[in-house]
Chains A and B, each alone.
Chain A
């Protein structure tokens, strides 16, 4: 006596003995496993099940109602083992034996022969990356190897790129993959051909679609037609996106590599990168100088380096990675790696925010210190104001010859000379009437800091000198910030108080520092130089402005 199971196969009910059921079930799941990669698996399976149901129904009758093990065995014998009938081209070959057949399928089914990029481990120096890429684009790997070898020295960027490629490009392990690696060349003709094929396919589908719509017979068909329509619209979009994807991927890769080299150069290189500045020429900037001038002393520079690598380096790596993946159609995604890098990026973000807050905190308080600069009263009634000419030994002249040793942060500059760096700022000067009958020079020193005390300290440390030769005042181009002081928005305003009836002469060079000097005729700063001005009760009045064009005057009411 045997137990039977009731089984529904393709809509037919069978009573099947337990052992026969197990056998059949195992057989069907083996077939299913065999067609794992085929797109039409479910359809093939239902066809096979239908056929088996048909055969089994011939084996039962009113006198013999149950399906026996022997029945299943004979059905399996008729159907054959999966390895006997599975379509070669639907599977991935890995054995020598099936090589030739995979090659044949390759030529008869154009969709399968498109070339893919693999690492060529048969022709490798390190990981076979260069050989693989050279195979893909059909050139001698020697050139690529040379390029990589050279770029190893470009702050290791080539090395990093090589490692990234090594990780994401799979090695050609099986013979099928090796063949795919050398598959049909990817060039313009082929792309054209592929596009044409897609288009023909498209036309054909269009036609079929039309036919089917015309001959609407039953609901089932309509359903498949609707499915086909969506499928085919999906195809069209897929193709368009595919082409755009490749273009975008290329740019991603290109920009990613350029930025990565720039990043590595900034961090590890002694050199500086130049960023175009809107007003003057360029701002020269190096990470080390940023840290030594702006970063609070409590934060080590390594923290900034780590922050930058995580915060900028990871997205750049991701850009390069996804560029390569899409360009070469590599399907490989490691979730754990993704989460790992996402987390690292968040750490980098937090670090950058922390550093930003720390720096911002150091600017939170502002302090102003007013100091009188000692001058002796000139003997003549005319005071000449001049700016120091820049002789060869001046720091500023050195800066002109060694432009790259200077960084320019808005109102400040950092100049390196003889391994000492000087933090400099540009002063501005205004002229006011004096309450007394003597000349006075006031320095208004301003700075920010973590607290009032620190800000005051920084402000006091602002060092500015002028030289006086009787009635000639020679101003300095810059004020200096103490060499250990950080840049905390130090600022210097000079106020020259001129007594009524005294005359001042502004030299041409003074236009660099004078700022919005009020006068009766509303003359612009640029036109005030090279002229004598007399302080009256109303304000400064020009003595030799006769030839001055009205156009150069301020229009009243503009400010």
Chain B
């Protein structure tokens, strides 16, 4: 059993949830999302984000629009769709439940 692998798997599971949460505060382009996730130490390498964004978009949870930027080429701003908002709401509930449940287990075993 590789500890790094397990940690990575754990992070991976909540990554989608985190991306949706980050976008719930407003439309953002990938570099901004990456910044926030990096600050929270959720991702180590940035490449992880792009396939995930693509999948969330293909699943209809996200949409994007192009916006001119002052400092360079146009940027892709990602945004939650109504389905994505609903999805996020459900994930939040189950996340809270999961945290409670896990904490309970940890408390008991201590």
Contacts and interface: CB of A to CB of B under 8 A. Distances in A.
B50 interface: yes
Given A12-B73, A50-B76, A79 B53 contact: no
Contacts of A57: 72
A40 B46 contact: no
A44 B9 contact: no
A48 B50 contact: yes
Nearest to B66: A220
A31 to B, nearest CB: 7
Contacts of A87: 51-52, 55
Contacts of A50: 30, 73, 75-76
Contact of A80 (B31, B44, B55, B58): B44
A47 interface: yes
Task: Bin chain B's interface residue count.
Answer: 20 to 34
Given A11-B73, A50-B73, A81-B45, A40 B60 contact: no
Contact of A51 (B30, B44, B55, B66): B30
Contacts of B53: 47
A165 B31 CA distance: 52
A208 interface: yes
Task: Bin chain A's interface residue count.
Answer: 35 or more
B44 A38 contact: no
A57 B31 CA distance: 13
A173 interface: no
Given A44-B54, A80-B46, A10 B65 contact: no
Given A11-B73, A39-B58, A208-B81, A44 B50 contact: yes
Contacts of A217: 65
Question: Interface on chain A toward B: helix, strand, loop, or mixed SS?
Answer: helix
A101 B30 CA distance: 26
A204 interface: yes
Q: Which of B52, B63, B72 has the most chain A CB atoms inside 10 A of its CB?
A: B72
Interface in B65-101: 65-66, 72-73, 75-76, 81, 83
Contacts of B5: 97
Interface string B1-34: 0000100010000000000000000000011001
Contacts of A86: 47, 51
B73 A10 contact: yes
Given A80-B45, A81-B45, A82-B47, A38 B54 contact: yes
Contacts of B103: none
A85 interface: yes
A336 interface: no
Question: Interface on chain B toward A: helix, strand, loop, or mixed SS?
Answer: helix
Contact of A54 (B50, B55, B57, B72): B72
Contacts of A53: 72-73
Contacts of B57: 40
Q: Which of A10, A39, A43, A204 has the most chain B CB atoms inside 10 A of its CB?
A: A43
A78 interface: yes
A44 B58 CA distance: 12
Interface in A55-113: 57, 77-82, 84-87, 89-90, 97, 101
Contacts of A31: 47
Contacts of A77: 45
Contacts of A47: 30, 50, 53-54, 76
Contacts of B52: 87
A208 B51 contact: no
A44 B51 contact: yes
B54 to A, nearest CB: 4
A35 interface: yes
B51 A84 contact: no
B51 A54 contact: no
Given A11-B73, A12-B72, A43 B81 contact: no
Given A11-B73, A44-B51, A51 B31 contact: yes
Nearest to B2: A97
A101 B66 CA distance: 34
Given A47-B53, A54-B72, A40 B58 contact: yes
A85 B47 contact: yes
A204 B83 contact: yes
Contacts of B55: 40, 87, 89-90
Nearest to B47: A85
A478 B31 CA distance: 98
Contacts of B73: 10-12, 50, 53
Nearest to A217: B65
Nearest to B82: A207
Nearest to A87: B51
Contact of A204 (B44, B58, B60, B76): B60
A531 interface: no
Interface string A213-227: 000010011000000
A35 B51 CA distance: 9
Contacts of A97: 5
Contacts of A81: 45, 47
Interface of B: 5, 9, 30-31, 34, 44-55, 57-58, 60, 63, 65-66, 72-73, 75-76, 81, 83
Closest 4 pairs (CB-CB, A-B) = A80-B45, A85-B47, A87-B51, A85-B48
10 contacts: A12-B73, A35-B51, A40-B55, A44-B50, A44-B54, A54-B31, A77-B45, A84-B47, A85-B50, A97-B5
Given A12-B73, A82-B47, A87-B52, 14 more contacts: A11-B73, A35-B51, A38-B54, A40-B57, A50-B73, A51-B31, A51-B50, A53-B73, A77-B45, A80-B47, A81-B45, A85-B48, A87-B51, A208-B60
